[in-house]
Amino acid sequence: MPPRRYDDHGIANALAQLKPNLRIWLADHSDDERASHELFDQQIQALSDRAPLEQLIALTVLATDLTQAAGAGPIIPPEAQRIVVQVFLDRLYDKAPGKSVEVRVPPFAAIQCVEGPAHTRGTPPNTIETDALTWIRLSTGRTPWAGAVEAHQVIVSGTRADLSALLPLT
């Protein structure tokens, strides 16, 4: 699979949407709004030396952590989810190239990976499907593979559809 190119404009737009969402979420879920803004500003400053894509990944992961901890709904804009999902799928492919397992994260992306018999037509016998936030949490080790499968956050089929040895990706 050729390396995916990430659109700088798309990354900038995703960051521009995600940052205010995080700031608002922190203020809404804090007893001290001023302290939450200062904490957020410190986090942004700490990330300022990183490339925009790495900033987007870090802030998206932070957002998944915050919403998971609070039991609140997602605050991550779809564009940020799409880019980060694709980054982690690319990292999975780099770690386990091949075409024997299809990993789907609808509606954002799907890849074939893992060495073994290549699949060419129809529904592959080895498939994994999950949502974007679960994929991000699996990719970063915040959710264990077995727990996500047991909780039906990940749907697996086939004898090769086990990514536990390949995760986390970061």
pTM of the model: 0.90
Instruction: Name the percent of the chain in helix, strand, coil, to the closest 5.
Output: 50, 10, 40
**Using alpha carbons only, how large is the chain's radius of gyration in Å?**
17
Please give the chain's pLDDT, 170 residues, in tens: 656 788 899 999 999 999 999 988 888 888 887 888 888 899 899 999 999 999 999 999 999 988 887 776 668 999 999 999 999 999 999 999 998 999 999 999 999 999 987 766 767 789 999 999 999 999 999 999 999 999 999 999 998 899 999 999 97
Rounded CA separation 155/153 (Å): 7
